[in-house]
Structure 1
Amino acid sequence: MGRVSKPNDVNLIKETCKKTPNPNLCVKLLEADSRGSTTDVTGLALILVDVIKARANEALTKINKLIKGGGDKKALSSCADNYKTILVADVPQASQALQFGDPKFAEDATSDSVIEATSCEGSFSGKSPLTNENNGMCDVANVARAIIRQLLLL
């Protein structure tokens, strides 16, 4: 899987996460996954891509409930499209690019996840009912992007 040394190094998560915009979130997410302690930097990035996927699915579930509950259908439909793009384009692109050793394409995909979540947030005139989900997606995607950028330096 990886071009990076030090699998099984407990410090790898902490050292890798230090170089991200949100080290505490990074450590929390990676230590919560059983793969985190036995993988390399590429594997850590893949774990975070899985978190992006899970969060996008959670956001879509909430969006569908809000639509059924009579929320702002136009804005919610736009957000549904944003999160579907994350699931059908960004997550597969990031995952495949990491597995094939092409971190630049993975970085582009995680960057796009931030754009999609930001776009969703901007769909609402006034208070968005998805602020927590959108901010959470941006946070995770920015951490993933920072880890992927470390692969570009190897």
Structure 2
Amino acid sequence: MKKVLLTALFICMGLTLFASPYIGVSQGLGATSVELGFMTSSFEENIFVGIPSLMAMDSYNSDFYKTVVVGTDLIYRFRPIGPLVIGFGPTFRAAWETGNAFSLMAGVAYQLSLETPDVMDILYVEGAYIPDFMQYESGTVTNDFLDKAAKQIFRLGWRHAF
């Protein structure tokens, strides 16, 4: 098992040698996220941190720092026509409600982005499918925002590559 994990780690590290780093922001159904990542023409990896949006905080009477979502996507990308890029791959998410609950999730992310070679700004739409059997929860959730924020079925965002 250790050999498999080390091999996967070295492959991921090798992909970063020719990759462009980027930063981005996105808005989901209940959370606003900031993300860091890197991408090549055929691969992308990112990590994002999300906090509840203002509307979600008002409806759940929660402070923004009490419910946090952290996730990562490993996206295989291909360009079928022009500036359109389609991607898909695994996604891993963790969310917690301070003092009450913790949740781990895994699933599949799919992405549609619009990017041009000369401009380093990227617009994208991302969706995710996280099946119920790929979720682990610990503790008692006081509201359903934890599930909604962690699953982030839909995100619309912008990235700037360097």
Greater strand fraction, Structure 1 or Structure 2 = 2
Q: Which has the higher contact order (CA 8 A, sep 6+)?
A: 1
Q: Normalization by structure 2: what TM-score?
A: 0.30
Q: Normalization by structure 1: what TM-score?
A: 0.31
